[in-house]
Amino acid sequence: MVSETRVEHTDPLAEQVSRSSRRSRGASAWRELDLATRPGSSTGHHYHHHHHHKTLVWCHDLTFPWRQKKEDGTVPPRRGNSWDSSTDARTPGVGRDPLVPERIVASQVNPSMESHNVCQWNLAPSFPFREVTLKLDVDPRQKFDILPELGRGTFGTVFLCREKHTGLELAAKIVPYKKKKDRSEMVREIDIMSCLHHPRLIQLYDAFDYENKFYVILELIQGGELFERVIDDDFVLTEKACAVFMRQICEGMEYIHSRSIIHLDMKPENILCLTKTGNRIKIIDFGFARRYDPDKKLQVMFGTAEFAAPEVLNFDEIYFYTDMWSLGVICYVLLSGLSPFVGSDDMATMNNVLQGSYSFAYSSFEAVSENAKDFVAKLLVKDGKRRLTAKKALAHRWLAETTAQSTTELSVTKTKLKRYVIKKRWIKAVNTIIALRRMGARIDYDLV
C-alpha cells in the first residue's frame, strides 16, 4: 500500500502551499521545500541548485502524521509511515512557469491507516547568491532602513533592516572598530563570506565600511538556534531527525572545505534554523574562519573549549579535520543531551578534550542506533588525519541510508537537552552581566 504527495507551485516569490493527497506511487521534480513540522512528525528536506532547473534531492525519508478513525470518531495522529524518494529529477525552466505537479515516493507500512490531509508545505525560494564587495565611505542608510535591534553579541549589534527599493527584510550587523587589527579581521570575515554561496550557509547581501563602523547586511534567519528548535514541545526528537540535521551541517561543511576555508567555531549557537516551523539549517558566524594555504602552517588559539579540537588546544597545526571534531561533539550532544567533554570549568573541559575519552554508557544512548554511535566515534578521534572528512561523513551509512536511523522518540535525550540549553542560557546571561559591569553600564536585571 502506498500513498502520494502532490506538490503544486506557481511563482516561487509568492506565498505558496502544497497539499497532501492519496494513493499511488511516483517521484519527480521539485523546488526547495520546507515541511511544516506538526506533532508526531519529523521534517525531511530537499535542496536544489542550478540556474535553469531545480533538482530533487531528499536527504532522508520523511515521517508524516497518519490518522486512523476510532470508534468514537476521533483521529489520533500515528507515526510509522514514511515518505521518501530515492531518485533525482529535474524540471527545466522552473521559475515563473504555470503549475508544475510533483510527486514523492511514499510507502505505507500500516495498511489500515489512511493518508490524512494535514500537511502543508511552505515553498520558500532560496536566498539569492550575490557577489559582494566592501563599500568604503558609503552611508548604508542610503540603501537600507535600519529597524529595531534583534540582538547583541561580543563584537557588534544586529538590527532588522529593509532594503529601500525592494522592501526585502534583512539583518544588519553593525560592528564598531578603532584599531587596524579589528578592521582587518572584519575585512577578512567579509572576504570569506563573499565567496561562500550555499543553501546551508548564511548569505552575505552587502557590506559597508562607514565612519569607523562595519555594516554587514546578511540574510535574515528567524528560526532561532537549532537546539532551541529541537527542545520545543511541538518537536518530536528522533534519531532520524538528528540525522537530517547532521546531514545538512555536513553538506555545508563539505562546501566550506571545498572553498579551502576552515570555520573554526562550529558549535550549536552557530547553527540556526531558517524558520520557526521548518528544519532547514544555516551555518553562521565566520568571524574565526581562516583560508587554508598548504604552503603555510596554520595555528590558532581561540574557539569554545567544549567544542574545540585537541589540536587547537595544543596549538598544533590545524586542518579541515579540525571542524569535523566539533561536528562530532555537536552530534553527541544532539543525540544524548549530554556534552562529552564539558568539565566544571574551562580548564577541566580542556583537559577532558586533550585526553579524548568519552563514553556512550548513558541512558540517553540506549535508544540510539549503533550506526549513529559509529558516526560520532569516527569524528571524535584524537588523530585528526583519521577523522571522517565532510565528504566521507556524508557517505557514512548513518547519513546515507534512510534505514540506518532509528525512528524511536528520544524522550530522555530531549529532557537532558532542555537542561543543557537552560544551563547555556544562564551562563550566557551571567557573562553578559559581567561584561556590562566592566563597561560600567546600567543593568536592568528584569530583562536579563
Q: Which amino acid is at 192?
A: I
Given a contact cutoff of 8 angstroms between Cβ atoms, the answer to whether 79 and 407 are in contact is yes
173 annotated as belonging to a binding site for a ligand: yes
Catalytic residue (one of 61, 206, 209, 265): 265
Separation between Cα atoms, residue 70 and residue 194, nearest integer Å: 56
Identify whether 11 is a catalytic site residue: no
The DSSP result for 81-145, as a single string, is -EE------EEET-SS-S---EEE-EE-S-TT-B--S--EEEE-PPPPP----PEES--GGGTEE
Given a contact cutoff of 8 angstroms between Cβ atoms, the answer to whether 249 and 330 are in contact is yes
Angle at 228 between CA 344 and CA 433, to 5 degrees: 55
**What are the beta bridge partners of residue 91?**
54
The DSSP result for 143-190, as a single string, is TEEEEEEEEE-SS-EEEEEEETTT--EEEEEEEE--SHHHHHHHHHHH
Given a contact cutoff of 8 angstroms between Cβ atoms, the answer to whether 268 and 244 are in contact is no
Which residues have CB under 8 Å from 153's CB, separation 6+?
A: none
Active site residues: 265
Which residues line the annotated binding site for ATP? 173
Which residues line the annotated binding site? 173
